Amino acid sequence: MLLDRRGRLALVLLAALLFAALGTLEDRVRLVAQVVGDSQPEPPAAVGPLSPIPINPRVIAGIVDFLITGLVVLLYFYRRQRYIRYWIAGWVLAAVSTLVVAQAYTNTWISLMAFGLAQFLSILSALAFVVSADAFRARPKIRRAYAFVLLPLLMWFLLAPLPLGAAAVFAPGHLLTAGALAAAAFAYLVLLRRSRMLGATVVGATLLTLAALNVWLSIGAAGTDAPEVSESVLLGMAVSLVMALGMQLMTFEDMTFELRRTNRRLELAQGELQQMVTTDALTGCRNRRFFDDVIGRELQRHRRYHIPLSLLFVDVDRFKAINDTLGHDAGDRVLQGVAAFLIRHVREADYVFRWGGDEFLIVISCAEKEALRKGAELQAAFAQSADAAALPNGVGLSVGVAEVPPEITEIMDVVNLADERMYANKKASRVRRA
């Protein structure tokens, strides 16, 4: 779409502003002319190069630190954790430290004290990052005795520059800051070893880089206004941005870790609840609810793979008499002893259910002939076991067996058949004892 004369002039002015840093005005006009086309405005007769606007790098670094503080505050609103609060404190102290020393003061004494205060705040900022690593999984232990160390240090950084000059606190401030940053880096690398978080790696590496930068400043800088200081401020600003990204990553990794841990706890709680719902509290056997859950799967295997399946219906002899004469506590001990015996003498692939009262149901993968032999073995083994010896006299087992037919439609028919055969076995045992 063609532009009218006013549109072309507006485009020329916009291009001139965009390319203001590319050389002389004559060169910029030539570039604009290439963009616009046939519009060739006449350059001014004599215009020298534009003077660059001086910008204090400390001001930029301070603003960046405050922007990072805002991002970390947003993280705290999203995930309210103790270590994020210490991150916020560290960034606020770093921003204030940078901006305090970036200001121009007319009074020399105030300027020197401001520089000392900035160095002290830089140390506090590094210590806040040390505490943030300790606060990641537990509450950090901050003692009042620390104040007795920091207070004399503050007085030194505020007052020493007055008689000795800024150099008196320049190197000590950077060395102490480097030591605190190195301690914070070590703490985050230890945290990496425990939690395997990539964010902890980024934060630890950037803290170590900042520590090395402060050591280099304390040794290599010629003074507080040396060019190396401005270069280090800009480099530290870039490293701080990377550190902020590491903190973002670390926060989301921590949230993912907590979600996984919560899911594991929910799974364990669900398993425990399932165990409580499907297990008889007195005997430890499975209950009828679990029978309803599992029997459909067993019948499907029985039909599809032609796996033989039988039911053993077990009843405790003389249980009612024991309950009536010795009390329910004795009856409970009898049931617990019988259940423990049955669980020990049945394969893990089979199931033992407490059917109700003194009745147990065993689902066993075998034909009826083998199931009859297994029932007889259980009766004989229980009569000679230590479990029976520890119970009142006369306690025994009556067993009824029924095989599940291939095309079964109602499992309760087989259960009732096994129950009837159990009563027949009980009557035959009484006749033998008589």
pLDDT of residue 207 exceeding 60: yes
pLDDT of residue 231 exceeding 70: yes
Average pLDDT, the chain: 84
Residue 282, domain member (yes or no): no
- What average pLDDT does the segment 129-144 reach? 84
SS3 of residue 410 by DSSP: coil
Both 343 and 387 in one domain: the answer is yes
Both 321 and 377 in one domain: the answer is yes
Of 333, 334, 329, 328, nearest in space to 316 by CA:
334
Looking at residue 389, its pLDDT comes to 83
Q: 145 falls in which pLDDT band (50, 70, 90)?
A: confident
Residue 222, domain member (yes or no): yes
Residue 276, domain member (yes or no): no
State which H helix or E strand residue 400 sits in.
Answer: strand 397-403
pLDDT of residue 277 exceeding 80: yes
Q: pLDDT digits over 155-190, tens only?
A: 999 999 999 888 888 889 999 999 999 999 999 988
Residue 275, domain member (yes or no): no
Both 259 and 333 in one domain: the answer is no
Looking at residue 418, its pLDDT comes to 96
Sorted by sequence, the CB contacts under 8 Å of residue 129 that are 6+ apart come out as 86, 87, 90, 180, 181, 184, 207
Looking at residue 179, its pLDDT comes to 94
Residue 96, domain member (yes or no): yes
In DSSP terms, 230 is beta-bridged to none
User: Worst-scoring range by mean pLDDT, 139-153, 166-180, 221-235?
Assistant: 221-235
Tokens of 271: 């398993």
Residues of the domain holding 114 = 57-263
pLDDT of residue 47 exceeding 50: no
pLDDT of residue 84 exceeding 70: yes
Both 231 and 87 in one domain: the answer is yes
Looking at residue 348, its pLDDT comes to 87
Both 381 and 349 in one domain: the answer is yes
Looking at residue 55, its pLDDT comes to 72
Looking at residue 351, its pLDDT comes to 95
The one-letter amino acid code at 106 reads T
- What average pLDDT does the segment 196-216 reach? 92
Angle between helices 227-278 and 198-220 (to 10 degrees): 160
Q: 25 falls in which pLDDT band (50, 70, 90)?
A: very low
Residue 238, domain member (yes or no): yes
Both 73 and 180 in one domain: the answer is yes
Both 84 and 223 in one domain: the answer is yes
Residue 272, domain member (yes or no): no
Under 8 Å between Cβ of 111 and 158: no
Residue 90, domain member (yes or no): yes
Say which CATH number the domain at 387 has: 3.30.70.270
As for how many domains the chain has, the answer is 3
Both 197 and 324 in one domain: the answer is no
What's the order of all strands across the beta sheet hosting 397-403? Answer: 351-356, 359-364, 310-316, 397-403
Both 218 and 173 in one domain: the answer is yes
Other beta carbons within 10 angstroms of residue 156's beta carbon come to: 16
Both 247 and 297 in one domain: the answer is no
- What average pLDDT does the segment 359-380 reach? 95
State which H helix or E strand residue 116 sits in.
Answer: helix 108-134
Both 93 and 19 in one domain: the answer is no
Please list the alpha-helical segments (H only) found in 198-226. 198-220
pLDDT of residue 142 exceeding 90: no
CA 221, 223, 226, 229 torsion-angle sign: positive
Taking the C-alpha atoms of 329, 330, 331 and 334 in order, what is their torsion angle to the nearest 10 degrees?
A: 130
Other beta carbons within 10 angstroms of residue 399's beta carbon come to: 25
Both 32 and 152 in one domain: the answer is no
